[in-house]
Structure 1
Amino acid sequence: MKFTSTFATAIVLSAMLASAAPVRRQTPTLSSSFTTGAIYFLSNEPSGNNIITATIGSNGMLTVSNVVATIGNGDHGLTGGELGPDPLFSQGVISVSPMAGLLATANPGSNSISLFSIDPTDPSTLTAVGPPIASGGEFPVSVAFNSDGTALCTLNGGAMDGVQCYNVNATSGLSVMAGTRRFLNMGQTTPPSGPFGTASQIVWSQDQTQVYAAVKGNPGSGPAGYIAAWNMTDSGLSDQFVNVTLPAGAGAPFSLTPIPGQNAMFSADAAIGVDVFDFANGPESVAASPRTQSYNISGSMAPCWSAYSPMTGDYYVSDLLTSILTEVSLDANNNLRPSMVMQYPILQNVATLDLEVATVGSQDFLYLLMPNVTAVEVLQLNGPGNATSIQQMDIAGPAASLSLPVNPNFLVGMASYVKPQTRA
C-alpha cells in the first residue's frame, strides 16, 4: 500500500530535497505568440490569498501576467511536522466556468469563497463579482461549477466539514442555495490533519443531478475512504449522502475527473494509483459494477491529482513524491479497464501537484504545478504516449516583480480558461 503512515514525513523530505534540485532556465514565450487564454493558481498565504495568473500563448507557453487578491486568506493543513508542499490535501481549489466566463476559488484560512469574472479579451484580467461569501464551514478546499455556471458547490475539510452550494449571479455574485448545507462528520480539526482522512474534491455529475465529494481514508488506523453522493433537486441536496465504498485496493481517492460520455469518474488514489467509479445505475450500484475498479501504477508513491486530455483521450496523474507524470488510458470496450500508456519523469526530487489540460486550437497542453521549485512545467501533448516538455515557467521572479513574495509550501491549485474562438 502506497499511502502509509510515513506519507506526511515523506512530503517534508520531498520539500527538503527539492530545495537543492536544479531548475531549468525558463523558455521565453515566442514573440510571435499571442494570448489565447490563461492559467490560474493560488499563493494561498495566511496573510492574504492571491490568484496568480499567467497568459497562454498560441504556442501553449506561459507568461506570468497578474496578481489578484481574493480578499481572503490561505492556510496549510497539519502534517505532524515541518510544513511541506500540498497544503490543502485536495484538488479543485480553483474552478472555472468557460460558459459563464467566471472563476471561483476557496479561501481556506478565512472560510470563504470568492467569485470573479474573466475578461474574454484578456483572460489574465479578473474582476471581483460581489464580496467573498462564507463557505458554510471551515477550511474550504475545493469548489465546482455546474455545467452552465449558474450554480457552485464547495467542500469544507475542517472541524465544521461538508458541502454548501450557491446560486451564481454574474452581476451580484454568490448567494446561498437553500437546502444544500450538508455534513460529512469526518471528525477533523481546523486546519485538518492530513493527508490521511481528509476531504479531497467536489464535482457535479455529468447530468447535473448529483454532487459527489471524495474523502480519503486512513489506511490501517482509521475510517475507510469513500465517495459521498447527494441528489440535487429543486429543494436542494438530499438530506443524507450515499456512501459509495471503494473498490478492492483503493483507499485514498484524491481527485474526481469526469469520464466523458460514461457517467463515471476517474480518480487518482494515493493508496494504489487510480480508481474508476461507475455511476451509470446510480450511487447505490457503484460498488457492485464491474466497471468500478482500482489499478496499480507501478513505481508510484503518492499519485494524487488527475486531468483528462480530449485530444489524446487519456488521463494524466501527477505524483507528489516521485515527480513522475503517468498517462493512463481507459478501455471503453472492456469495462473502462485502466492501463498505463507512458510515464514522464519531470525533475528528480521535485514535488508535482495540481495539473490542468487546456486545448488551444487543435493542440492540448498540460500545465503542472511544481511548488517547491516555484515553477509550472508545460508539456505539449502530441498524441497518446507522446508528451513533450516545452517550458518551465518560473513563478517566484515574476511574482516578486508584481510585489508578491511566494512561499513554496503554500502554492496550490490549477485551472485554465481559453478564449472561445481558439477552442477546437
Structure 2
Amino acid sequence: MLGGIKNMKIALALGLGLMKVAEALPAFPGLSSSDWTSTGRALYFQTNEDSNAIVSVKIHDNGTLSEGQLTYTNGTGAREISAATNQTASPDGLSSQGSVTVVGNSLFAINSGDNTVSMFAISEDDPTNITLVGAPASVPGDFPVTVAASELNNLVCVGTSGARSGVSCAPYAANVGIGKMDFLRTFDLEQSKTPAGPLDTVSQVLFSADESELIVTVKGDPTSNKTGFVSVFSVTGAWLTEQPRLSASRIDSKLNGTVALFGFQQIPHSSKYFSTDAGFGAVIFSVDAARETSTLLHKQVIADQMATCWAAISPVTKSAFVSDPLVNHIVEMSLDDASIISVVNSTSSNDASGYIDLAAAGAYVYALSPGATEGSGAEVAVLSVSPGKEKSITQSFNVGSWAGTSAQGLAVFP
C-alpha cells in the first residue's frame, strides 16, 4: 500500500492535492456493444480559478474534440491544503469526483472558494453554449467539492469537506435555477475551513439510478485510525404531491479493508457500485436499499498505482476505467470482480503526470489532465475503446489559456 502509511499519505496529498455523476446507464443485458456507440455531443470541466468558469468542448461524431466556449460561473474556485506539505494542493485541489455534473439539459458546478453552486441551461442546438440560470446558490457548509442532481425529484445536493462538512440540498427548476439550500447533514471530519487533504474528506455524492437514494463516499485516514465509509440517505416525499427532500438521517457503513474511497459509479441494473480507492486501486461494494447499508464485495490492488481516484463505466466495453494523478496510465477493470482487464500507457500523449477525472460516452473514454506546469493548458485525452480494436489514445486536446493546473471535474452531454 504505497510502501507504508506515511508514504501513502504523502503520495496521496501530492497527487490528489487529490462523473461525471452517473445517470442511469443503458440496459446491458441482451444488447450488443454496437447498440451504444453513439458519442456525446459536448464535454465540460471547470477551471477552478479565482474567477471560476466552465470550459465547454465540442465532441464530434468520431469522438474527437474541438474548441467550444468559456462561460463564467459567477463563483470563486479554490484548492485545499496538502496535509503533507502544508502548501496549496496542486494538481487536484478538490480531492473529489463530481465537481461538475450534467443531468438532463442542466449543468451544475460547485464553487469552492465562496461556498456556492452554479446552475446552467444547456442548449440543444449547440450544447457547448451554456447559460447561467439564476444566481449561484449559497451552500451552508465550507469548501464544496462535489454535486449531484436528480431530474426525477428536481433536487440538487452538494458535499462539503471543510470545517462545516456534510451534505445539503435544494430544489431546482430548469428556467428558474437553484432554490434555497436546506440544512447541513454533518460529517465529523475535524477539518479546517479550507480542508487539509486529501485524506479525511468527502469524495463524491451520487444519486442511485432510481433516484431514491443519495450515496456518499468519504475517505478515511489510516494515520488517525479512521476507516473510510459510505453514507446512504433516502429521498423522502412523494414527487407528485410535495417537494422531495433528502432525509435528515443516514446510515454510515465502514468498509473494512478500504483506505480512501474516492470516485464511484453504479453498475447498471444492480445494487452494486464500482469505486476507486486511492490507497490501493478499486473495490466493488453493494448497497442494501431496504437497510441502507453497504457491504464490500471485491477488492483489487493495482500494483504500480500511486493514487487511483476517478472512475467511469463504459456502456460499450461493459467495464470500468480508472485514472491516477501520479501515474500516466488508464486502467480498465471488470465490473464483476474489479480484476484488471487492460492498461493503456499514456506517457507519450500526456505532458502531465496523470489524469484527474474521467467520463465515458459511446465508444470513447475522456480523461482530463491539468496543465503540466504553471501557465500550460489543461488537456483532454480521447481514449478509443471500440470493440475488437486495441484501446488507444487517439487525441490529446489542449485548451490553451482557458484552463491550466487547477482544472477539475469532467462531465458529458447528453
Same fold, judged at TM 0.5 (above): yes
SS at 1:255 equivalent: strand
- Which stretch shows the higher mean deviation, 195-204 or 218-227? 218-227
How far is the alpha carbon of 1:184 from its aligned partner?
Answer: 1.0
Deviation track 1:288-340 (CA, whole Å, cap 9, x = no partner) reads xxx62322122212100000000110000001111111100122xxxxx2211
In 1, are the aligned partners of 2:143 and 2:194 still within 8 Å (CA)? yes
> 2:246 maps to which residue?
237
**Percent of pairs with identical residues:** 30
One-letter amino acid of the counterpart of residue 96, structure 1: V
The question of 1:344 aligning with 2:352 is answered: no
Q: Which residue of the partner structure matches residue 101 of structure 2?
A: 95
The letter for the 1-side match of 2:189 is M
Give unmatched runs, 5+ long, in structure 1.
16-34, 332-336, 419-424
- How far off its partner does 1:384 sit? 7.6
Would you say the 8 A contact 1:231–1:238 is kept in 2?
yes
How far off its partner does 1:7 sit?
A: 4.6
1:12 deviation in Å?
7.9
The structure 2 residue matched to 1:358, chosen from 355, 358, 361, is: 361
> Could you tell me which residue of structure 2 aligns to residue 24 of structure 1?
none
Instruction: Give the SS at the match of 2:113.
Output: coil
2:407 is aligned, of 397, 407, 411, to 411
Count of aligned positions: 374
* Counterpart residue type for residue 111 of structure 2: N
Q: Distance in 1 between matches of 2:102 and 2:368?
A: 17
Tell me the secondary structure at the aligned position of residue 256 of structure 1: strand
Residue identity matched to 1:371? P
Aligned-partner SS, 1:292: strand
**Cα displacement (A) at 1:4:** 3.7
Shift of 1:188: 1.0
Partner of 1:313: 318
Q: Which of the numbers 114, 119, 143 marks the counterpart of 1:110?
A: 114
1:127, distance to aligned residue in structure 2 (A): 0.6
- In structure 1, the residue matched to 2:20 is none
Which of the numbers 271, 279, 301 marks the counterpart of 1:296? 301
Q: CA deviation at 1:283?
A: 4.8
SS in 2 for 1:64: strand
Task: Give the AA of the match of 1:201.
Answer: Q
Q: Deviations over 1:33-81 (max 9, x none)?
A: xx961111111012x1010111001111111211000000000010043
Distance 1:283 1:292 in 2: 17
> Partners of 1:164 and 1:382 in 2: how far apart?
39
Contact persistence 2:11–2:307 (CA under 8 A): no
Aligned-partner Cα distance in 1 for 2:249–2:14: 40
| 1:166 matched to 2:174 | no
Q: 1:192 aligns with which of 174, 190, 195?
A: 195
In the superposition, relative to structure 1, how do residues 127 and 355 fare at CA in structure 2: closer, same or farther (>3 Å)? same
Secondary structure of the structure 1 residue equivalent to 2:222: coil
SS at match of 1:220: helix
SS at structure 1 position matched to 2:81: coil
Asked if 1:274 is matched to 2:282, the reply is: yes
Q: What is the aligned counterpart of 2:80 among 77, 81, 85?
A: 77
